[in-house]
Amino acid sequence: TQLLEQSPQFLSIQEGENLTVYCNSSSVFSSLQWYRQEPGEGPVLLVTVVTGGEVKKLKRLTFQFGDARKDSSLHITAAQPGDTGLYLCAGDSGGYNKLIFGAGTRLAVHP
């Protein structure tokens, strides 16, 4: 069974701090996606990484896919209250867009 483990489960920080969340697996994924989910809403795609070692930046968010395509990280610089939410990583193992989600990291950024 393929699993994605995310850490930490919870993160509570002050506005302006930096943070990194991790997504790890023993399985190889053809692509990996990061989503953000807010209460009462469905997840919204932030980024897709497909190449081992790939780094993508989205404003203050930096995403990295591990060289072996088994793990990924999300780094947020100077976090803002608007970054608050549940961050989910999801791996596509079979190439048919069948996603396996991690349990998520719940981030709270306080003013």
Partner 1 sequence: EAGVAQSPRYKIIEKRQSVAFWCNPISGHATLYWYQQILGQGPKLLIQFQNNGVVDDSQLPKDRFSAERLKGVDSTLKIQPAKLEDSAVYLCASSLRGGSAGEQFFGPGTRLTVL
Residues near partner 1 (CB under 8 A) are 4, 30-31, 33, 40-45, 48, 50, 88, 90, 92, 95-104
Q: How far is the CB of 66 from partner 1 (least distance, A)?
A: 16
Which residue in the block uniquely carries the two structure tokens 């989600």?
A: 101
Q: How far is the CB of 56 from partner 1 (least distance, A)?
A: 13
Cβ neighbours around 70 below 10 Å, total = 18
What is the Cα–Cα distance from 35 to 33, expressed in whole angstroms? 7
Q: How far is the CB of 103 from partner 1 (least distance, A)?
A: 5
Nearest partner of 18 among 90, 74, 65, judged by Cα: 74
* CB nearer to partner 1: pick between 10 and 111: 10
Cis peptide before 8 (omega within 30 of 0): yes
* CB nearer to partner 1: pick between 5 and 84: 5
